[in-house]
Structure formats: C-alpha cells, structure tokens
Structure 1
Amino acid sequence: MTRRGILAVDEGSTGTRATVVGEDGVCGPSFYTAVDVVHPESSRVEQDAAQLLERTVDVARQAIAWAGENGVAIAGMSVCTQRATAILWDRETGRPLAPAVVWQDSRYADELAKLAPEWDPVLWARTGRPVGTRAPFLWAARQLDQLDVPADRVLFGSVDTWLVWHLSGRTRYVMSATNAVAFGGYRLREHAWDQEWLAALGFPASLAPPPVDDDGDFGYTDPKLLGIEVPIAAVMGDQHASLIALGALTPGQGTCVHGTGTFVGALAGDEPPDGLGEVDGVLCLVGWRSAGHSRFSLEAYTSTTGSALRWLTEDLGLFRSAAEISELAAAQPRSTSTWFVPTLAGLRTPVQRPGARGLLTGLSLATTRDAVARAVLDGIAHAVSDTVDALRTTMNRPVTRLRAGGGLAASDVLLQSQADFAGVEIERAADSATASLRGAAYLAGVRLGVWPSLVEAVAHQGKGEVFEPRLPEDERRELRDRWQDVLAVSLS
C-alpha cells in the first residue's frame, strides 16, 4: 500500500539535508551535502547563494528518488533554513548579485552600536529584539548603491525567500514569519515590516519581501527542478521547526538544542511577554504562525558550549574527546571549589558582555583531570541554566519541561546538572538529530491533512530518558548563588 510523506529540506549554515517524513512521523534516510562558508575578513562571513540552491535541489532529488523506490507518495514539501542570512539576486537571470551574507557576519557591528541608544527601546517594544550586531537591511542598502543592475530587477530576501522563489518556478516572492522575525525589523503584533527602521537603515521598504504564515502560500514545486509538482506547504526557520518537533506546544514547555553553542527556547503564548528587554540576550520570536495567528516564543543563546569541549580536546589536547570528558566527570562528585566559566567568546545572558573571557579557577596541586572535567560540564550547565532563568523571568511563568537534543545531550552528567541547576525536568529527545526536518514537515503535513494536528504529529516520536532535579531547593540556590559570584569574577 502506498504511504504518504512530506519531502523535508533543511538548508543549514554548513550543510543541506533532505529526507521524507512518513505518516508515522518517522524520517526515511537523510541525504546530506556540505555547503561552503567563506571568511574574507574576521568580521565577514559569506556563502554562495547559487551553491545553496544547487545543493538543496541535489539532496531533495535524492530523497524523492528514495520515496519512489519505497512506495512513498510525496504529498507536499517543507523547507527549514538557517536564519538571517541575506541574499540579493537578479529577477531576470535568477543569479546572485553578491555573496550571501551569513547570520554570523558582524561587519556593521560598530555602526549599529551607534544606533542602539536611540533605537533599542523602540525595537524591543515593536520587534522583540534590540539593534544587535547584524542588519541584513543595512547590508542590502549599501549593496544597492554599487549594483550595475536596474532597480526593478533586484530581489532581496533570506535563504527561504531565495529557495522558494526558485523552487516555485519563480512564482512566489515571500518570507516566512519565523525567518522574518530573525531578520530584524519585523513587527511582532502587526506581522509587517517596521517602515521607520528600514528607512533609518536606508533600505527601500518596497524591496522587502512580504511576510507570510509559516504554512502559507508558497506555491508548488517546479517539476523542471525536482521532477514533481507538489505544494510547498510549510517554510520555517530551523530553531522554530525544532521547537515544534521537540514538543514545545504549550506555554512554558521548551527546548534545549546543544551544538557549537546552545539555544534554549520556550513557547510564551499568544501575545509577546511584557518583560522584553529586561534581561540581556532574551529575544521574542514568532514560534510559528499559522492561519493568521502567531504563537510567540522566547529564545536565548549560550555561545560557547560544544565549542568549549572542542577547544579543550582539539586545540589544547587536555582530553581525547567530549565522551571522555563526560566519562571522567561521571566519576567525580560535584565541587564547590573548582569552577569553569565557558565565556570563551563573550557573554550574552544574563548580561551582554562581548569582551568577557573564560575562567578556570579554584585549582590546587590536588586538582585532578576528573575534577576539571566535572567543573567543565557543571560550568556549561550553569551557563545554560542562566538562559533558562532568563526565559522564566521574561515570560513571568515557569518553564515546565525542556526536551534536549544535539551533540552534548549525549552526556548524562551534563543533563543531570542542567536539571539540578535549572530546577526543571529535562528529557533527552529520542531523535533530536532530525528535529528541524520533522518540525517543518509536521506543520506542512497538518496543513495537507497528513496529520490532524501538531499534537498528534509530535505524539509519534518515542519518549526519551528523563532527568529529574535531585538537589533540594536550598542546595540548588546556594550553588546558583556561588556560580553568580564566580561569573562576576570572570566579568571583572
């Protein structure tokens, strides 16, 4: 019997994946290819948009071929993408007019800092985020002055705008709400661009692609590109898709995705919280938007978690692997004298300090490698718990559960420490590696009738191991207070 499935594509910062998510909620094999990232200068991060499209089409065709060979009828397509990467291209040729500027790019950070005193209060209230260190609209405004192409031929957008325009046979020029909110300048309550902010950056508002629902009208796939014609039924930012797949569907439920850094997100509800801007580094986003209705989420980021372990293992050679760090830490009781503060690339939360540096303190001749390993994982757990506390404070409601995924989530020691320090149950997701693929596919599948609701789509995934807080509240508070003292020393 033929089964239905959703062709799911995830175009990330370093690679592109595609799979088919079946009616049972399970992914078929994942087809992957790397994409290049270029650093012409220390503050510049760029990609070739033509390569992004080519490799996205390539992995999608592989997934389509697998579906045909295995009796899966593709009902529609979903796309999730890296967020806030900006592209300019020629409407007539379809070719990029400049290298794509990746979300890590900070070439205009100093210039934007001068705008922050005036604009931060305005943008916090309207868009749920401050000026920040990147502005795709500012980059585009500067590029427009240099292009040797008539203005009516220029198109501009994020990765999802670029991909959908091509995948739909050049018929749909839009940006999904979850990508728009990460772009900056998106008014949360109005679902529209902030005309005053775009004008302040010198960007013509007429060139901004219209924001649409994440399961809105993205047209149909061009059979000349993919060999099939099906609706592009959902398009999302990658972290937002993970929020759905990891089951954060009720306010207070959240996710913790460990990669190079760690994203902690939580569903906030049907309105943006009142406390935006009170804690550094907590952004308000559209968790997802469907049927003209936005579900808002909060997000905070710890920049040095997985990269801290890579630094300790690959750069310093103090340990053989992240797995060894976890193994050594498991044999060592928690210490109140040896501490590691993983601010190796600055600090965002609870205070914004780009120049903050890491700290390993409380060492003596009796300090062992086991003790250092334990301090490293506990330090990461404390830093991530700071973001959980920040979300809790901002949305003025408890975080009731976190589902964790990503490489570091393999460490029992880390997840138990996170549960202890944050005072919240943490579940290791059974299949976090495909969360972004599945989340966007679930939204597409609900629109197309593959699943009756997101709740039922998410219910297909198995339950993972649960880590309950073990520390009494007074001990938890004492350790968290001591952590704040150590953190203050590193900031000084």
Structure 2
Amino acid sequence: MTTNNVILAIDEGTSGTRAATVSADGHVSCLEYLTLHVETPRPGVVEQDANEILEKTISVCRATIAQAQQAGQHIAALALATQRATAVLWDTQTGVALVPAMVWQDTRFVDELDRLAPEWDERLLDRVGRPVGVRSLYLWAARHLRDTPQVADAWREKRLAFGTVDTWLLWHFSQRRDIVTTPTNATSSGAYVLADHRYYLEWVQELGFPFELLPALRQDADDFGRTRSDLLGIDVPILASAGDQHAGAIGLGCLDRGQAMCVHGTGSFVDLIIGPEAPSNSGLSEGALTMTARRQQGVSHFAVETFVATTGSALNWVCEKLKWFKDAREISALAATVTSSQGVTFVPALTGLRVPRMEAGARASLTGVSMATTQAEVAYAILEGIAHSVASCIEADEAVSGVRVSELVVGGGLSCSDPLLQIQADLIGIPIRRMQESDRASLRGIAYLAGSSGLLWPSLHEACKTIVTDAVFTPAGNADERAMRRTLWHARVGSELGHVDQFKREKEEALHK
C-alpha cells in the first residue's frame, strides 16, 4: 500500500466536532463526528462544557488517525477550525475548565452592553468593525474573576487561562502550551483592531478585563508548535487555526475581492471577500459586520458578513410545527412545479430581522394569500423568502464594503435545493456556484490554509483548484422583473417594521399615561 501525505483537519462546531484527513487532490476522507451538548439553563444564557469539547475532539482525532493509518496515509500536519467567540476559563495546572463555556449565542449581558452602546458603538465600528453588540467574552470573564471563587483563586495564584475554543484546544494539543488566538477568532470576540492586528485595550479596560489574560495574537496560518503525542498519538506541526466560517469560505474557493459565500444551515451566513483593504462604509448597516477573512504572511484579508438567523430552521418550523409539508425536500419538489408564488410572500423573521435593520421585535409573516393560492405557491414563497433575505444580505454587504459581488458560492444543507438556488440567482442577477462536498468545506479550507506554503500546495489559489463545481445556476428574467420582485419584498418587510414601530410607540405612550 502506498503512503501519501495528508493533513489532519479538525472542525469543532457548536453542535458537534469532527475530524478528517485532506489529501493533495482536495479529497476529504476518514471522517469522524461526535455531537456536542448545548445548555440553556435560563433565558439568554447559552453554555457548553469545554472539557466535553476537548474530550470529544480528541476522540474524533484518534479515530480519524486510526482510519488514516489503515488507509496508508501519512499525516504531515494538523489544522484546526473552531466555532467563534465561545469563551473558556481554565486552570493551567490541571488543564480543566473551571466554569461552563459561554457560547457565542449567549445574551446574558445585553442590558449592560446596551448602556455602553451610545458611548462606544461609533468607536468600535471604526476600529473593530462591529458595535458593542449583545454579548461580551471579556465582560463574562471579568464577572467570573469577581464573583466565582475558583476563578479568582486561579487568577491570584497565576494559574488561570482565558481564550476562545481555538485557544483552549491549541493549549492542549501543542507541546508549547502557548495561550494564543488568531484574527478570524479574535475579530468575533469584539476587541480586535482590524487594521493594526492588536487588541483595542481601551475597550477591554472598560469591561474590567485584565490585559495579562488576553491570548497572544498570531496569524491564522502560523507555526503553533507540534502536537503532543501522548494526547493524539502523533507528533506533527500545527500549521493553521481559524474560525470555522472563514475556513469554510476558503474551502469553497472564496479568496478574492468580489467573491461571496453563502452557507445555509440553521441560518444563512453571507460573507463578501473584500481583500486587504478595510471596508469603505463600516457601520453603515448595523447588521453587516467587518471580519478578518484570513491572515497569513503578515497580510490580513477582510470580509463583510451578514446573516439571516432562521432559514433552515424556518423550513423545520413549517414542516414540524405547522405540518404544512412532510419535509424540506417536499417544499423544494413542490416549488419546482410552479414558476412564481403568485404574489404570496414569506418573511422568515422567526427571531427578528438583522437587515435592512436590526430589529429583534420583527416577526415572520405569510402575506398575499387568496382562495386561489396553492400549496405549491406557498412552497415557492417560502424558498423565495429565504432567497430575498440572502439578497438583502448581499445588498448590505455591498453597501458597507463598496465592493460588488461577482459570484456567489453556496454550501450547507439548503444548498442542495435546486429551486432555491435558481430563485436566488434570478433575484440577485449573478451566477450561483454550488461545489461538490460543500458540507466538508471547513475541513478542506483549514487544511488548505495549513498546507499551502509548500507542504501540499504552493499557494492557496493552487489548493483551491482542487475544488470541483457541482452545478452553476445562471440568472433568468430581466432587470425590470428583478427590480419589481425586490420592490415588493422591501414593501412587505417595511410593513412588518412599521408594525413593530407602531407597537413601540403605543407601548411608550402607555408607560407615560
């Protein structure tokens, strides 16, 4: 059996952790997966057990390594993609997490952060590409330092470490035991100065977080030391660590200015790559955040990111709670039998809107229904509502970045719906490309980042040549038709926002009576 070099790629997400090997032809194999638990002990609090994350990530790695050895593969390096902005506090003597990790979906400090927003939003948008927001890792850690005895004791005795999931796993996996993070993770944590590759210390200080606990900043493609053979059974270099969303963009071939990626999962994330220059209109849309797409060889590449919170979950809701359809496949199949919704509009704002404005009080709606409306037209409207929401994300990304989208690459579960992607292409007027094995894009992308300095590929662009296109959806219809459909959509969304504003006014008036 011949031996070939591969990279061990890890994709540690919120709902599960997986490992696989990626070879020079871009093929992902020896895949192993384990689910992770997410706890919501009270409203606004979302937590995970970091010790479980570590144990299960080690388990999938060991299983993948065993598969690779049986297949005659030679693991040449390790690469790590992780969920972003989930925070961990741990004891460096025992290596054990001291409190439950705060997951990126957590909003327990929203009221306190709201009070800081008027003073800080403008400064933060200018420097870190995002407002105060609804969560803060640094505020969370500062509260534990003050209120949790075991954390305060560890800090006093100089055995406390803090970081995001990448920091936590790298500390355990690397022989160096460095406490480090990377720009694609630090950006989401809310105190990373995009242009200068440093922390915004004034904001960190405002939150009461001690500078000494900040993880050291590295690059996404970097030398993170060698793996601990006692933990994983292999001794290889760790060459990349990045946020999972950004690894996915690389794994879908989105590297250059004007390329955009949409990953459809529970929600739909839209990232527009804008290159080494920061966006021209940062802060123009509060739902569009500036991200570091990757940093390597001393250069940061940026992206603007928007998302629709409920797209895949909206289909599940329609099928499982309302029982209108058997499953998402039936929605696609029925939608394919008609050419329009005949004026029916579905706004999938089940947990509020982010574009055209951040409005948690907005609600989903199905409008334009008549006695003549068919089930197939409702199915079409549901997919069209998702496509319209993504189109609004693209518009916001373009407005903030000053960059036009030239192509949209799609991945994730809903990307298997041909009718959805055709509707999407028709609404935005640009081609949509679906890649093969798009569900493995994060694994592939983080391996590309680790192996593109000569280990397996001479460059990222050469690595991405191994990605295979599954289908391309080209726009049908003309610009006038497209504009008419978008105008109707904006009117329906505007109507919902009008209802929210009216409700707020009436509530305010009632309070002052």
- Establish whether TM, by shorter chain, passes 0.5: yes
Whether the aligned pair in 2 keeps the contact of 1:2 and 1:72 (CA below 8 Å) is: yes
Matched, 1:269 2:269: no
State the Cα distance separating 1:398 from its structure 2 match: 1.2
Cα distance in 2, alignment partners of residues 298 and 308 from structure 1:
24
State the Cα distance separating 1:393 from its structure 2 match: 1.4
- 1:407 aligned partner: 413
Cα distance in 2, alignment partners of residues 365 and 217 from structure 1:
64
Matched, 1:280 2:286: yes
Whether the aligned pair in 2 keeps the contact of 1:341 and 1:490 (CA below 8 Å) is: no
Number of residue equivalences: 492
- 1:113 aligned partner: 114
Cα distance in 1, alignment partners of residues 425 and 286 from structure 2:
22
**Over the residues paired in the alignment, what is the CA RMSD in angstroms?**
1.0
SS at match of 2:245: helix
1:344 corresponds to which of 341, 345, 350: 350
Cα distance in 2, alignment partners of residues 424 and 390 from structure 1:
16
- 1:61 aligned partner: 62
- Output aligned runs, 1:51-450, within 5 Å: 51-145=52-146, 146-148=148-150, 149-151=153-155, 152-169=158-175, 171-447=177-453, 449-450=455-456
Cα distance in 2, alignment partners of residues 265 and 243 from structure 1:
8
Whether the aligned pair in 2 keeps the contact of 1:389 and 1:422 (CA below 8 Å) is: no
Cα distance in 2, alignment partners of residues 367 and 107 from structure 1:
43
State the Cα distance separating 1:463 from its structure 2 match: 1.5
State the Cα distance separating 1:315 from its structure 2 match: 1.2
Matched, 1:488 2:494: yes
Whether the aligned pair in 1 keeps the contact of 2:162 and 2:213 (CA below 8 Å) is: yes
Measured against aligned partners, the alpha-carbon deviations of 1:165-205 in whole angstroms (never above 9, x if no partner) come to 00013522100111011111000011111100001111111
State the Cα distance separating 1:240 from its structure 2 match: 0.3
SS at match of 1:260: coil
Of residues 331-340 and 352-361 in structure 1, the stretch that sits farther from structure 2 once superposed is 331-340
- Output aligned runs, 1:5-20, within 5 Å: 5-20=6-21
SS at match of 1:433: helix
Measured against aligned partners, the alpha-carbon deviations of 1:22-61 in whole angstroms (never above 9, x if no partner) come to 1111011310001111110121111111100000000001
- Output aligned runs, 1:16-35, within 5 Å: 16-35=17-36
Question: Which AA in structure 2 matches 1:35?
Answer: L
Of residues 144-153 and 222-231 in structure 1, the stretch that sits farther from structure 2 once superposed is 144-153
Whether the aligned pair in 1 keeps the contact of 2:421 and 2:473 (CA below 8 Å) is: yes
Question: Which AA in structure 1 matches 2:276?
Answer: D
Cα distance in 1, alignment partners of residues 318 and 189 from structure 2:
33
Question: Which AA in structure 2 matches 1:381?
Answer: A
- Gaps of at least 5 residues in structure 2 are 500-513
SS at match of 1:447: coil
Question: Which AA in structure 1 matches 2:460?
Answer: L
Whether the aligned pair in 1 keeps the contact of 2:7 and 2:447 (CA below 8 Å) is: yes
Question: Which AA in structure 2 matches 1:378?
Answer: E
TM-aligned CA distance change 1:161 to 1:280, over 3 Å: same
Cα distance in 1, alignment partners of residues 178 and 248 from structure 2:
25
Question: Which AA in structure 1 matches 2:122?
Answer: P
State the Cα distance separating 1:150 from its structure 2 match: 3.5
Whether the aligned pair in 2 keeps the contact of 1:301 and 1:387 (CA below 8 Å) is: yes
Of residues 329-338 and 277-286 in structure 1, the stretch that sits farther from structure 2 once superposed is 329-338
Question: Which AA in structure 2 matches 1:421?
Answer: L
Cα distance in 1, alignment partners of residues 430 and 121 from structure 2:
32
Cα distance in 2, alignment partners of residues 150 and 420 from structure 1:
57
SS at match of 2:28: coil
Whether the aligned pair in 2 keeps the contact of 1:16 and 1:55 (CA below 8 Å) is: yes
Question: Which AA in structure 1 matches 2:300?
Answer: S
State the Cα distance separating 1:336 from its structure 2 match: 4.8
State the Cα distance separating 1:413 from its structure 2 match: 1.0
SS at match of 2:30: coil
Whether the aligned pair in 2 keeps the contact of 1:345 and 1:356 (CA below 8 Å) is: yes
Whether the aligned pair in 2 keeps the contact of 1:233 and 1:448 (CA below 8 Å) is: no
SS at match of 1:464: strand
SS at match of 1:42: coil
Of residues 60-69 and 335-344 in structure 1, the stretch that sits farther from structure 2 once superposed is 335-344
- 2:40 aligned partner: 39
Cα distance in 1, alignment partners of residues 154 and 138 from structure 2:
19
Measured against aligned partners, the alpha-carbon deviations of 1:371-411 in whole angstroms (never above 9, x if no partner) come to 11111111111011100111111111210001101111111
TM-score, structure 1 normalization: 0.99
Question: Which AA in structure 2 matches 1:93?
Answer: T
Measured against aligned partners, the alpha-carbon deviations of 1:90-147 in whole angstroms (never above 9, x if no partner) come to 1111111100010001101111111111111000000011111010000000001123
SS at match of 1:29: strand
Cα distance in 1, alignment partners of residues 30 and 318 from structure 2:
33
* 4+ runs deviating over 2 angstroms: none
- Gaps of at least 5 residues in structure 1 are none
TM-score, structure 2 normalization: 0.95
Cα distance in 2, alignment partners of residues 113 and 422 from structure 1:
35
Whether the aligned pair in 1 keeps the contact of 2:342 and 2:377 (CA below 8 Å) is: no
State the Cα distance separating 1:67 from its structure 2 match: 1.3
- 2:465 aligned partner: 459
State the Cα distance separating 1:448 from its structure 2 match: 5.1
Identity of aligned residues (%): 48
SS at match of 2:452: helix
Whether the aligned pair in 1 keeps the contact of 2:127 and 2:194 (CA below 8 Å) is: yes
Question: Which AA in structure 2 matches 1:238?
Answer: D
State the Cα distance separating 1:217 from its structure 2 match: 2.4
Whether the aligned pair in 2 keeps the contact of 1:31 and 1:63 (CA below 8 Å) is: yes
